[in-house]
Amino acid sequence: MGSSRKRLLRLLVPATTVATTVVVSTVLTPVLSANAATSDHGAGRARSVIFINGDGMSAAHREAARLSLAGLDGQLTMDKLPVSGQLSTSPHDPKTAITDSAAAATAWATGTKTYNGAISVDVKGKPLPILGRQAKAAGKSTGLVTTSQVTDASPAAWFSQTADRAAQDEIARQYLAVSKPDVILGGGEDWWLPAGTPGAWPDKPAEDPSEASKGTKGNLIDRAKRSGYQYVSSAKELAHAKRGKLLGLFSNEEMFQQRPEGQGDVYSPAVDLATMTQKALDTLSTNKKGFFLFVEEEGVDEFAHENNGARVLQAMKSLEKAVKVARSYVAAHPDTLLVVTGDHDCGGLTVEDPIDSDESGSDLSTEDGPFPVHGSNLKFVMDWTTTEHTGADVPVTAQGPLSTLFTGKHPNTYVHEVLSRVLTSRH
């Protein structure tokens, strides 16, 4: 093997097992051929990236959704992507081996593991280079879409740096002043306005009177408008928004109510994830240099924390529709890398046959269901073991140039290794 090829291997392959090295090296030839024809299986040069996060989603959530939406012999769109692998999720936190969304997203966005609660800073609180800013510096357009607050941990890690994920108004300020994503769509208007200054979404709404404007950085919506963003707050306004810099906030906080089952739990976003994703793609795709789009369905995690199977399935259906939008885009634009994964497991879910009693116990492990298996007379139950995150690996599926690099098992920091090859390139 030539010295230049050895250097490329050192750049591409994390210091994990020999087996992983073998898997990666077998796909290096098509990946590194700059003039190769782009295909679903990884050849060719990538210009853009669509990265989709089912927050809290591991293999069991995908299987429950498959049974519910596609049936025994069916497949989810996210599972039809031709390349698959696994990611481990542990953080570098002195208090726990189990990650939160902030540390997990920081691993993706920076390639560095850190403590829970950190947004793209290292274990000493030092800011780290982030792919959202690097993509912008390379001339690409950038955007984020989520059913959570747009300033929540997962999107924040790509576009901001702070020692505490709770500083969501500071994260919003950094979006406007520093990283400047072209498209920002999701929830969380409360963080963009000072206390006592309600916006399009009124303070203390009936569905949750605790929600109210709470920012400390001034009126950031007005600042966004002065910076050239169109601001929209409804599905109708989003549909009529012109191409260009776009800020859309469609709720006070998350775009749903994540309460225990039967206690006001609601999954009914004012704008669905697929619609936001399509609008973002329509806007970002006008850049000939390419783009980076982060898409997130937050409801999987939030409802798994409540052990709420019915709402998790609703959120998974929403995520699946967004993946279909993204895959349709990739079919027409094969120079786009599409990646679908989760940041961690939430709930310790298992998918089981219905039985007369819950053999696992009660309370935290109470079963949800039975739910019908699509297209059959069979049913399944969703059995929970915790209301917290777990250390289970998460599946990753991918399509497009460089996608074959996700074959095998990797740490979550490996996402950064692959995506940075696309997002930091100025070609």
Cα separation, 342 vs 301, whole angstroms: 10
Report whether 389 belongs to an annotated binding site: yes
**Residues recognised as catalytic:** 101
Report whether 345 belongs to an annotated binding site: no
Report whether 55 belongs to an annotated binding site: yes
Contact criterion met (CB below 8 Å) for 241 and 184 = no
Report whether 410 belongs to an annotated binding site: no
204: left (phi over 0), alpha (psi -120 to 50) or beta: left
| Residues contacting 317, CB < 8 A, separation 6+ | 65, 68, 69
Report whether 301 belongs to an annotated binding site: yes
Report whether 344 belongs to an annotated binding site: yes
Cα separation, 154 vs 85, whole angstroms: 21
Report whether 358 belongs to an annotated binding site: no
Binding residue numbers for Mg(2+): 55, 152, 154, 296, 344
> Residue ranges for the binding site?
55, 152, 154, 296, 301, 305, 343-344, 389
Extract the annotated binding site for Zn(2+).
Answer: 55, 301, 305, 343, 389
